[in-house]
């Protein structure tokens, strides 16, 4: 494929280039040009379409175990209040129905959410319980509720979709369950979560996390010993996900027993998967790490990541070591992505040939998914 050394900032051109890249033959895959990672009009278009239409992982189910447990976040400009209300976890708009104040910050537990501006109070079901001194004839508190978004649980993760009509998450992730069910992902227990802002485009982190090509180069001390590039193997993909296996060398012992009956092969590798658009994760016998990407601008993201462990096999010191290791790994990736982000603005950032199926086949899967989502809109 020929990519001229010139910059186009026309949205229609960038959409056309995406379609071209995705249509490249499987044995001659090609990456997106730099403009696809910097252009504000493309980013806005993505926000309005495939990002808003997608299911986004916002945390782990075991972060919200008691009624009233809540967490807050901003997703694509929408302030969200995610709350356990009895058996269900619900996603509300974190915006007071009176004049728009956010109702809660951070995370915690509350049996009601009292607005700190004029003290309107809402229940964990989003209903307005109290609006002091309100005698306005046109106002009926009984019909006043917080705005809601779609919210569901799969694999122990909480997913939210901002679209009016959410896609069928089971169709999107069909096949992912078969891939990771053996690890019993819903039984992992969260031990750590953190958030930080990275100066890179959201697609760059999806691609980075999902390809094994860089492992030995970028992570020589942290990952190469366990998951060298040469042992990366493409895993299955489906409508809305892709995966690869980061296999451990034969001389490395399995790290933990994991779920009962977990097969030897699954104990001897990490399975990395992306649930498009914005979740990338790694599951292994004892450890489940998820990076939940929240696009902020064309060139910045919030990365909210969680670490969960299986059973009690890992003691506190070992868990601390794993957290420190993942902090190092994330820092190594972040440094590369932030440096690359600057270079992607160049006229010569035209995109390049991708490596083969086992190394960057997942990147091609992502481009195909992006193009298919994009084609749904005129």
Question: What residues from 19 to 48 belong to the interface with ligand FES (CB under 6 A)?
Answer: none
Nearest in space to 229 (alpha carbons), one of 214, 219, 244:
214
- Tell me: does residue 128 bind ligand FES (CB under 6 A): no
Q: How many residues bind Fe ion (CB under 5 A)?
A: 1
Name which position in 3, 61, 98, 327 contacts ligand FES (CB under 6 A).
98
Counting Cα atoms < 13 Å in the Cβ hemisphere of 98 gives: 20
Which of Fe ion, ligand FES, none binds 155 (CB below 5-8 Å, type-dependent)? none
From CA 31, how far away is CA 7, in angstroms rounded? Answer: 16
Name which position in 10, 41, 117, 342 contacts ligand FES (CB under 6 A).
117
Which of ligand FES, Fe ion, none binds 64 (CB below 5-8 Å, type-dependent)? none
Name which position in 32, 73, 83, 96 contacts ligand FES (CB under 6 A).
96
- Tell me: does residue 99 bind ligand FES (CB under 6 A): yes
Please check whether residue 273 is in contact with residue 180, taking contact to mean a CB–CB distance below 8 angstroms: yes
* CB closer to ligand FES out of 17 and 104: 104
- Tell me: does residue 213 bind ligand FES (CB under 6 A): no
- In DSSP terms, 149 is beta-bridged to 91
Phi first, then psi: give them for residue 263, nearest 5 degrees: -70, 160
Please check whether residue 140 is in contact with residue 153, taking contact to mean a CB–CB distance below 8 angstroms: no
Which of Fe ion, ligand FES, none binds 333 (CB below 5-8 Å, type-dependent)? Fe ion
What's the chain's Rg over C-alpha atoms? 22
- Tell me: does residue 139 bind ligand FES (CB under 6 A): no
In angstroms, the first-to-last Cα distance of the chain is 25
**107-109 and 69-75 as β-strands: parallel, antiparallel, unpaired?**
antiparallel
Which of ligand FES, Fe ion, none binds 99 (CB below 5-8 Å, type-dependent)? ligand FES
Q: How far is the CB of 115 from ligand FES (least distance, A)?
A: 3
From start to end of 133-222, where are the E strands? 148-154, 157-161, 188-198
Q: Which stretch binds Fe ion (CB under 5 A): 1-9, 105-113, 268-276, 327-335?
A: 327-335
Please check whether residue 299 is in contact with residue 200, taking contact to mean a CB–CB distance below 8 angstroms: yes
- In DSSP terms, 194 is beta-bridged to 305
Q: Which stretch binds ligand FES (CB under 6 A): 10-18, 99-107, 242-250, 361-369?
A: 99-107
Which of Fe ion, ligand FES, none binds 145 (CB below 5-8 Å, type-dependent)? none
- Tell me: does residue 333 bind Fe ion (CB under 5 A): yes
From CA 286, how far away is CA 283, in angstroms rounded? Answer: 8
From CA 225, how far away is CA 221, in angstroms rounded? Answer: 7
Residues in touch with ligand FES (CB under 6 A): 96, 98-101, 115, 117-118, 120
Residues in touch with Fe ion (CB under 5 A): 333
């Amino acid at each position: 494929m020929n990519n001229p050394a010139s910059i186009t900032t026309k949205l229609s051109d960038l959409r056309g280039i995406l379609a071209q890249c995705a249509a490249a033959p499987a044995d001659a895959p090609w990456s997106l040009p730099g403009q696809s990672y910097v252009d504000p009009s493309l980013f806005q278009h993505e926000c309005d379409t495939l990002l808003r239409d997608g299911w986004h992982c916002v945390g782990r189910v075991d972060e919200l175990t008691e009624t009233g447990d809540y967490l807050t976040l901003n997703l694509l400009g929408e302030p969200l209040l995610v709350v356990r209300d009895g058996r269900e976890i619900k996603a509300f708009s974190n915006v007071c129905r009176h004049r728009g104040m956010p109702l809660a910050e951070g995370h915690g537990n509350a049996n009601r959410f009292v607005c700190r501006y004029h003290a309107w109070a809402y229940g964990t079901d989003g209903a307005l319980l109290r609006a002091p001194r309100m005698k306005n004839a046109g106002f009926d508190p009984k019909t006043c509720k917080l705005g809601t978004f779609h919210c569901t649980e799969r694999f122990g993760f909480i997913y939210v979709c901002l679209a009016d009509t959410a896609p069928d998450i089971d169709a999107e992730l069909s096949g992912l369950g078969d891939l990771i069910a053996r690890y019993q992902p819903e039984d992992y227990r969260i031990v750590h979560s953190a958030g930080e802002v990275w100066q890179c485009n959201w697609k760059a982190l999806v691609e980075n996390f999902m390809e094994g090509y860089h492992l030995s180069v970028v992570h020589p001390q942290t990952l190469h010993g366990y998951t060298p590039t040469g042992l990366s193997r493409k895993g299955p993909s489906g409508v809305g996900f892709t995966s690869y296996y980061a296999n451990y060398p034969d001389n490395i012992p399995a790290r933990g027993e994991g779920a009962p009956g977990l097969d030897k092969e699954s104990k001897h590798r990490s399975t990395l998967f992306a649930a498009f658009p914005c979740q990338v994760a790694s599951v292994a016998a004892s450890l489940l790490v998820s990076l939940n990407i929240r696009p902020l601008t064309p060139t910045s993201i919030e990365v909210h990541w969680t670490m969960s462990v299986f059973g009690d096999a890992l003691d506190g010191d070992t868990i601390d070591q794993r957290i420190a290791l993942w902090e190092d790994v994330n820092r190594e990736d972040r440094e590369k992505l932030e440096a690359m982000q600057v270079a992607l603005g160049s006229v010569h950032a035209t995109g390049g040939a991708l490596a083969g199926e086992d190394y960057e086949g997942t990147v091609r899967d992502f481009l195909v998914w992006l193009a298919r989502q994009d084609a749904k809109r005129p």
